[in-house]
């Protein structure tokens, strides 16, 4: 079999996320009905790291069905959201119209975004579950930083890569992989994520390709393109249940009892 290029894998992910986008209208993670009633979909870490966004221009990269972008619009930001999934962008535009929220949505592969979107923003933001779908982290940093106004910031909130090392075996956390090996992953999926594992939503079978980046690689990519790292945080909670032994913390996040490892990280970089 001919090996797939990164572009082929990005296209497969686009198809996969098109299927997932419609299914996510039923996902407890996105809880679209609650969002429509005014609930802010940004998780605690995202809200803390973004702070006050009112009156600011803001670009969300890989915005999926737009509920974070539209929550930021409700917080007073002038928002543009972008994603490769045309289905996700259609849903985001429909939600904006239905809720009468002022936000613009652009469909593009992140690496091609400069061909279709001009301008610079006070804030650029990317939240949970984005960097691991990108084959070139330095290329991502070039695109992301290109949209930050001089003096503006790029905020990343992501799943901590250390979680990739572990599985839960008999209710215990076990190291089953190396952080430095198995950097590319491919899964055939017939379900997509929800808030808790048992609520996973069924999706037509699709392929998802991923690339695992360490925190060091993400931070160094930003330094290499000239960004100044202002803050780095590691916290022992995550936006959803990824392993069966994770428990809800009552604050819309999930933890491993005893908080043994970081589950999310955040980085703020200034141009
Ligand atoms: C797991 S979703 C999560 C995104 C968002 N932070 C959220 O919480 O809804 C990842 C998104 O990345 C998008 N994506 C994957 N590869 C991309 C690429 N090369 N360019 C732009 N978007 C991409 C997918 O279409 C999907 O909407």
pLDDT band at 251 (very low <50, low <70, confident <90, very high): confident
Q: What pLDDT was estimated at residue 170?
A: 85
Mean pLDDT of the chain: 94
Pocket probe mutation, ligand 1, options 10, 14, 62, 139, max atoms within 8 Å of Cβ: 62
Q: In what order do the strands lie in the sheet with 247-248?
A: 237-238, 254-255, 247-248
Q: How far is the CA of 64 from the centre of ligand 1 (A)?
A: 5
**Domain-embedded: residue 1:** no
pLDDT one-digit tens code per residue, 78-133:
999 999 999 999 999 999 999 999 999 999 999 999 999 999 999 999 999 999 99
Identify which of 32, 133, 201, 208 to mutate to test ligand 1's pocket (most ligand atoms within 8 A of the CB). Answer: 133
Domain count, the chain: 1
Q: Report whether pLDDT(1) > 60.
A: no
Classify residue 202: in a domain, yes or no.
yes
- Average of pLDDT values for 222-238? 98
Are 55 and 72 a contacting pair, CB within 8 Å? no
Residue 247 lies in a domain: yes
Asked if residue 150 belongs to a domain, the reply is yes
Round to whole Å and give the CA distance between 136 and 254.
Answer: 29
Taking the CA of residue 127 as reference, the ligand 1 atom at the shortest distance is 6
- Structural domain range at position 90: 6-270
Q: What's the CATH number where 166 sits?
A: 3.40.50.150
In percent, the amount of the chain with pLDDT more than 70 equals 99
| CA 179–ligand 1 middle distance (angstroms) | 23
Closest residue CA from atom 13 of ligand 1: 62
Q: What angle do helix axes 86-98 and 67-74 make, rounded to 10 degrees?
A: 30
| Residue-wise pLDDT tens digits, 157-173 | 999 999 989 988 888 88
Q: Which residues line ligand 1 (CB under 6 A)?
A: 10, 13, 17, 62, 64, 68, 83-85, 88, 109-110, 127-130, 133-134
pLDDT in tens, 140-162: 999 999 999 999 999 999 999 99
Q: What is the pTM (predicted TM-score) of this model?
A: 0.96
């Amino acid at each position: 079999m001919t090996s797939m290029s990164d572009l082929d894998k990005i296209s497969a992910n686009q198809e996969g996320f098109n299927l997932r986008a419609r299914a996510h209208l039923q996902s407890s993670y996105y809880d679209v009905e609650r969002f429509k009633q005014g609930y802010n979909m940004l998780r605690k870490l995202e809200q803390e790291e973004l702070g006050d966004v009112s009156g600011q221009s803001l670009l969300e990269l890989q915005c999926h069905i737009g509920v974070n972008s539209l929550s930021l619009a409700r917080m007073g930001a002038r928002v543009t959201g972008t994603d490769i999934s045309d289905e996700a962008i259609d849903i985001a535009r429909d939600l904006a119209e239905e809720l009468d929220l002022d936000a613009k949505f652009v469909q593009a592969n992140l690496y091609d975004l400069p061909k279709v979107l001009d301008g610079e923003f006070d804030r650029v933001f990317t939240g949970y579950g984005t960097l691991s779908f990108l084959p070139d982290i330095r290329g991502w940093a070039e695109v992301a930083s290109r949209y930050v106004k001089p003096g503006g910031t790029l905020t990343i909130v992501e799943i901590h890569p250390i979680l990739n090392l572990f599985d839960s075996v008999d209710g215990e956390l076990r190291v089953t992989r190396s952080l430095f090996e198995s950097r590319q992953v491919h899964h055939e999926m017939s379900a997509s994520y929800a808030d808790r594992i048992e609520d996973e939503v069924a999706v037509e079978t699709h392929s998802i390709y991923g690339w695992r980046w360490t925190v060091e690689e993400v931070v160094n990519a930003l330094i290499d393109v000239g960004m100044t790292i202002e803050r780095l945080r590691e916290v022992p909670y995550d936006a959803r249940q990824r392993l069966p032994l994770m428990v809800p913390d009552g604050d819309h996040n999930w933890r491993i009892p005893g908080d043994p490892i970081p589950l999310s990280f955040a980085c703020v970089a200034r141009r």
